[in-house]
Amino acid sequence: MKTNKVYSGSCLEVLKTFPDESIDTCITSPPYWGLRDYGTEGQIWGGDPDCEHDFTSSTRKLHSGSWGEKDNALPHQKNATILNWEVEDKTCGKCGAWKGELGLEPTPEMFISNLCDIFDEIKRVLRPHGSCWVNLGDSYCRNPNSQDQTGKTGIKTMKYNYNFKHKKKFGSVYKAKSLVQIPSRFSIEMTNRGWILRNEIIWHKPSCLPASVQDRYTVNYEKMFFFTKNPKYYFKQQIEETKDLLQRNKRTVWSVNTASFKGAHFATYPPELLESPIDATCPRFVDKITKKPREIVIEKKSMERHELPKDSPNYRPARYDGKYSQGQRYAMYNEIGYDDGRGDDEFEPGVVLDPFFGSGTTAQVAMSQDKDWVGIELNPEYEKISEKRLKPKIIEKKTRDKANEFWDTK
Ligand SMILES: C[S@@+](CC[C@H](N)C(=O)[O-])C[C@H]1O[C@@H](n2cnc3c(N)ncnc32)[C@H](O)[C@@H]1O
């Protein structure tokens, strides 16, 4: 496996060619369920790999963005949503394999199962200290056979989780207009498959698009899951500054404005959303021989009020006339760096993987932190977009490395 390179193909297949324990952090945003067609030839999911498939085709109507055609839809809603389109399902009559694009599966259960098969491979390629971050949005359940919004029918589920008694009593459809709860179903299946779920991050979008819904609230957040492979993993503590200029361990609701990337025909995530996860879980230095991360030292100091920065509202001079409790202490953090006495040349940069690479936001942030990266992208058209975006950054990094080398040897 080469680093700082985009591999072309379906990530499940490409990942199988990567060696065990070669990645420090995976961070990604997979296709959301039932949202859009990425315009690629479908892949084969499930079934028997040795079967000589015999596919039969059927078509199904999908529509995301049910309000887009209404007269009161805002212009961006008309443009941003794909409305009604037909999806072709190809199912093998012999082994039950399904051929199609990830995200366009007929049921949420099949989508979660295909997606988690990819993350099984990711677990294999992660180093023992590795982490995995997944940004995944939800969908509302829509009536698949009409544009009617009355909510009579929903998406048919697969039967495997339900016994006959359950099906007889409750039926086997999710009701139209209900959230499908894709993120929750995904994180539960991931933990069923052995991942450790350390945090659910709420990505709050202060500048979210207005929606013309009137019978529920406008959703202005998405989830990002933080999984680890093992209970003990690499994590550089993340500190945030509070309004009163104090410091504390970073919290889990992050307000980050959305950022679109010109030229991308799909949702890109904003670089700012990735900065802390990559800083926290991808080591800048990994031992060239043992592949273990170099631990960075962060000192936590407990301070009294008179020791705080003078512009903090909590600062008080040392001889304040007794109005604050004497025992109150405040935490301040200081990044000391590396105290192992070793040279930087004994280490190599950690590697960040994005198996749904899109326009390459992940690589951009990895490079800004002097870390290596690997991308996988199915659509060759999107590769051109990322190449255009990343080339100037790669050149910039090479120039910086050369300059560093020059000053080191002087
Ligand atoms: C939500 S976009 C990711 C956007 C990316 N985070 C960014 O900021 O540009 C999902 C990407 O996954 C790609 N994709 C879909 N199915 C794939 C598969 N099976 N293997 C690899 N890439 C796939 C799509 O072509 C699309 O570029």
Low-confidence winner among 24-28, 218-222, 393-397 (lowest mean pLDDT):
393-397
Who wins on pLDDT, 83 or 305? 305
Class of domain 5-38+105-140+179-292+340-409: alpha beta
The verdict on the CB of residue 268 being under 6 Å from ligand 1 is yes
For ligand 1, what atom is nearest to the CA of residue 135?
A: 6
Per-residue pLDDT tens digits for 43-70: 999 899 999 999 999 887 765 544 334 4
What does the pLDDT average to over 164-177? Answer: 78
Does the structure show a pLDDT above 70 at 377? yes
Distance 207 CA to ligand 1 centre (A): 23
Distance 72 CA to ligand 1 centre (A): 31
Distance 356 CA to ligand 1 centre (A): 4
Split at pLDDT 50, 70, 90, the class of 158 is: low
Protein residue with its CA nearest to atom 16 in ligand 1: 102
- Alpha-carbon gap, residue 132 to 329, rounded angstroms: 35
Mutate to test the pocket of ligand 1, among 378, 386, 388, 389 (most ligand atoms within 8 A of CB): 378
The verdict on the CB of residue 226 being under 6 Å from ligand 1 is no
Mutate to test the pocket of ligand 1, among 38, 278, 354 (most ligand atoms within 8 A of CB): 38
- Specify whether the CB–CB gap between 53 and 47 falls below 8 A: yes
Edge-to-edge strand list for the sheet holding 351-354: 5-8, 372-377, 351-354, 23-28, 126-136, 221-228, 196-204, 253-255
Residue 212 corresponds to which tokens in the numbers above?
């013309």
Q: State which of 115-129, 198-212, 242-256, 322-336 shows the largest mean pLDDT.
A: 115-129
Distance 219 CA to ligand 1 centre (A): 23
For ligand 1, what atom is nearest to the CA of residue 11?
A: 20
The verdict on the CB of residue 361 being under 6 Å from ligand 1 is yes
- Specify whether the CB–CB gap between 239 and 333 falls below 8 A: yes
Who wins on pLDDT, 233 or 380? 233
Place of tokens 């992050």: 254
Protein residue with its CA nearest to atom 8 in ligand 1: 268
What does the pLDDT average to over 136-161? Answer: 63
The verdict on the CB of residue 266 being under 6 Å from ligand 1 is yes
pLDDT at position 317 is 77
Cα 17 off chain centre by: 22
For ligand 1, what atom is nearest to the CA of residue 118?
A: 19
What does the pLDDT average to over 193-206? Answer: 97
What does the pLDDT average to over 210-223? Answer: 88
pLDDT at position 282 is 98
What does the pLDDT average to over 26-51? Answer: 86
Does the structure show a pLDDT above 70 at 85? no
- Alpha-carbon gap, residue 1 to 19, rounded angstroms: 7
Who wins on pLDDT, 145 or 274? 274
The verdict on the CB of residue 267 being under 6 Å from ligand 1 is yes
pLDDT at position 217 is 93
- Alpha-carbon gap, residue 45 to 114, rounded angstroms: 7
Give 288-342 as a DSSP string: TTT-PBPPPEEEEEEE-GGGS-TTSTT---TT--S-S-TT--EEEEEEEE--S--
Split at pLDDT 50, 70, 90, the class of 398 is: confident
Distance 357 CA to ligand 1 centre (A): 5
- Alpha-carbon gap, residue 38 to 33, rounded angstroms: 12
Split at pLDDT 50, 70, 90, the class of 159 is: low
The verdict on the CB of residue 382 being under 6 Å from ligand 1 is yes
Residue 195 corresponds to which tokens in the numbers above?
């991942």
Return the percentage of the chain with pLDDT > 70, whole number: 84
Counting Cα atoms < 13 Å in the Cβ hemisphere of 362 gives: 30
Per-residue pLDDT tens digits for 288-345: 999 999 999 999 888 887 888 788 777 877 766 656 555 677 888 989 999 999 999 9
Q: Which amino acid appears at position 371 of this protein?
A: K
pLDDT at position 73 is 38
| Backbone torsions φ then ψ of 89, nearest 5 degrees | -100, 130
Protein residue with its CA nearest to atom 3 in ligand 1: 358
Q: CATH 3.40.50.150 in the chain, residues?
A: 5-38+105-140+179-292+340-409
pLDDT at position 157 is 64
Please give the model's pTM, rounded to 2 decimal places: 0.88
Residue 85 corresponds to which tokens in the numbers above?
């389109």
pLDDT at position 34 is 79
Distance 263 CA to ligand 1 centre (A): 14
Does the structure show a pLDDT above 50 at 72? no
* Mean pLDDT, all residues of the chain: 85
Does the structure show a pLDDT above 60 at 83? no
